[in-house]
Amino acid sequence: MDAVTTADGTLEFDLRETTVRALNQFLHGPAATLAGRQVQVHNTDGAHNLAVGLNAAVHVTLHGHAGYYAAGMNQHASVVVEGSASTGVAENMMSGFVHVKGFASNGAGASAHGGLLVIDGDAGLRCGISLKGADIVVGGSVGSFSGFMAQAGRMVVCGDAGDALGDSLYEAVIYVKGRIASLGADAQIEPMSDADRTTLAALLKAAGQPHDPRDFQRVASARSLYHWNADANQEY
């Protein structure tokens, strides 16, 4: 297994002494054996595919930066990245909790079905594209085309949003505190309801973000593309 067990039962992996394959093979072990275990991974050095495909309530901390697709396809697990994460962090997450304490590159939370992704810093282009039910909270700003074709779920942006935010939105909702460079096709700003503020307060609390829900705007679908007719010269 190439891991050291500490006095409190924590398992520690050093990726300068073992491989990502060995780490992931251990983390893909029986869910009953892994449940509740603490796993510390040192010297990640931007390695790709760290802690992917987990399906147990295990707690994993990655000490350092993570490469592509960290915590992708996560189910049940809690994964904390102490540094920043490259492309596709928490992509296709089904449940659980992923926390990036630095910045996230492109496609963070893409196609995520469930769970909560928290990014303390900024996120790059296409954050939350094709979102399918997960919640994403970004403490900083997001790049262009974030929320593209987001079908369900909620995204919170505590900073600014780049161009074409929420392009071709379905039923997902985006809350933005800062400046929106531009909205994408079929996205619109709507009034915040009491239910929105209650939902947003809970998400901010879960993410450890000390913002006032009253300072945010709601972006949702105008639904003009739901019944697109190519022969009717519709504009959008």
How much is the pLDDT for 65?
A: 98
As a whole number of Å, the CA-based R_g of the chain is: 19
pTM score of the predicted model? 0.94
Distances (CA, A) of 204 to 101, 198, 216, 228: 15, 10, 11, 36
How much is the pLDDT for 225?
A: 80
Name 190's bridge partners: 218
How much is the pLDDT for 1?
A: 56
How much is the pLDDT for 235?
A: 56
> What phi, psi does 13 have (nearest 5°)?
-110, 140
**C-beta of residue 168 within 8 angstroms of C-beta of residue 149:** yes
Distance CA 47, CA 62 (A): 10
How much is the pLDDT for 227?
A: 67
Distance CA 127, CA 88 (A): 9
Question: At 18, is the secondary structure helix, strand, or coil?
Answer: coil
Walk along the chain (236 residues) and give the pLDDT tens digit of each residue: 577 878 788 899 999 999 999 999 999 999 999 999 999 999 999 999 999 999 999 999 999 999 999 999 999 999 999 999 999 999 999 999 999 999 999 999 999 999 999 999 999 999 999 999 999 999 999 999 999 999 999 999 999 999 999 999 999 999 999 999 999 999 999 999 999 999 999 999 999 999 999 999 999 999 988 765 666 665 54
Question: At 200, is the secondary structure helix, strand, or coil?
Answer: helix
How much is the pLDDT for 92?
A: 98
Structure tokens at 67: 């490469």
User: Could you identify the residue written with the tokens 């697709």?
Assistant: 69
How much is the pLDDT for 224?
A: 85
Structure tokens at 24: 């992931």
Give CA torsion, residues 6, 47, 116, 92, to 10 deg. -130
Please state, as a whole number, how many other Cβ atoms lie within 10 Å of the Cβ of residue 107: 26
Q: Which residues contact 154 (CB under 8 A, 6 or more apart)?
A: 135, 136, 172, 173, 174, 175, 199, 203
**C-beta of residue 108 within 8 angstroms of C-beta of residue 90:** yes
How much is the pLDDT for 48?
A: 98
Q: How far is CA 13 from the centre of its chain?
A: 24
**DSSP states along 73-141:** T-BS-EEEESS-B-TTTTTT--SSEEEESS-B-TTTTTT--SSEEEESS-B-TTTTTT-EEEEEEESS-
How much is the pLDDT for 229?
A: 61
User: Could you identify the residue written with the tokens 């590159």?
Assistant: 105
CA angle, 199 then 201 then 205, to 5°: 120
How much is the pLDDT for 6?
A: 82
